[in-house]
Amino acid sequence: MTPAHAENRAMRRLRAGVIAAALTGASVLLSGCGEENPANANASTEAPAVVARPVQVMTVVYRPREAEKSFVGVVRARREIDLAFRVGGKVVQRLVEVGERVEPGQVVARLDREDLKLELESARAELAAATANLSQTSAEDTRYRSLTAKGAASSADLDRKSLAKEEAVGRLERAKRSLELAENRLSYSDLAADAAGVVVATSAEPGQVVSSGQTIVRIARLDEKEAVVSLPETALADARSAGATVTLWADPGRRIPARLRELSPQADVNSRTYPARFTLEGVDDTVALGMTATVTLQPKGQQAVARLPLSALVDRGHGPQMFVVDPASRTLVARPVEVAAYTGDSVLIASGLMAGDDVVTLGVQTLLPGQKVRTAKAVAPTDVAERSPEGAPRYAARPAAATAVAERRP
């Protein structure tokens, strides 16, 4: 064998060894890949975890379809009396001040009595003169009747004496009436209250000369009290038919039954509102005149409805539905609902929901019945932001539009 042949044979043996080693490594590798890893097997058979979707909810509350209407007014007495003298004169005393209580017959003011006393004395003198004149004419009439019967006097003289006597009778009657008027005028110098009440205004001071009928004191009677409010024309029908209650700013927890007593048939020229008076029933002295009162009109016989956002309603060909969160399983339940009416931004639900249910208000088009959720209460735009102990707001109300965008975001 030549050296060249020996070298070629050695190279062939080296190649065969390399190929055999490569095949052996590949078979080992393939056998390792074919073995099952217990950890990987457990991971492949385990079910994926269910993630609860966050949703915004609102609690269902049934209220009358027509909301209550409130109007602010003031407590007034039903009857306010302006006391005035029935005669003119100079005021010498005013015995009451604003806020004082008065009783029936109590004197509240006095006039100067001197002129009235002189009038009374004059009337008495006139009565005495009329009485004396009647006595004289009566005696002459009796005498002339006797003379006429004897033929010593004519019938004409008897007629004159009879007429004089009749005139004296009339004069005496007139004098008596004048005396009564003078006595009354003297009694009118004392101004007395006609009923129990409280003084709410005074219009004269001692030393002032007043005329007959000029207001001196205004007294409000306390037997009946009313709440006086001004109503817009849209509330007139409710005022006539709805029930009314009154709350006081000084005692907000107390609700006083009230009834409409008077409603003006004509609007006020300046405010274009209608003054109304509601009688307060069963009130005591704790309800003072002038207190700020809120009259609340409660419509009667109204259908109870739940007012919810329009975004909570969904219709997939089976009628209007809403998604309610089951409190036990925290999953969604589709409830058919009966719609009473639609408004600009809300829907009124007549039935299908129960009071206290949590209804999803946003993103309902992407939800499915049975889906697991976690809830967050809807925040009304008018809610006051919660504040930290330092007084700074901890969070603000989230706008509904922003919440809707966030809900639709995948």
Residue-level pLDDT at 8? 59
Q: From residue 284, give the alpha-carbon distance in Å to each of 200, 225, 248, 280, 287.
A: 18, 9, 13, 10, 6
Mean pLDDT, each 10-residue run in order, the chain (410 residues): 55 60 48 47 52 89 80 92 93 92 93 92 93 89 84 82 88 92 92 91 93 93 92 88 89 90 92 94 87 88 83 90 92 92 87 91 89 79 38 38 38
For the stretch 362-365, contacts whose Cβ atoms lie closer than 8 Å and that sit 24 or more positions apart, written own/partner, are 362/55, 362/56, 362/309, 362/311, 362/312, 362/400, 362/403, 362/404, 362/407, 363/55, 363/56, 363/404, 363/407, 363/408, 364/311, 364/312, 364/313, 364/314, 364/322, 364/323, 365/314
Rounded to whole angstroms, how far apart are CA atoms 21 and 27? 10
Residue-level pLDDT at 89? 93
Domains of the chain by range and CATH? 69-78+223-298 (2.40.30.170), 80-217 (2.40.50.100), 304-408 (2.40.420.20)
Residue-level pLDDT at 322? 94
Residue-level pLDDT at 386? 38
Residue-level pLDDT at 363? 87
pTM: 0.55
Residue-level pLDDT at 145? 83
Residue-level pLDDT at 162? 86
Name the CA radius of gyration of the chain, rounded. 52
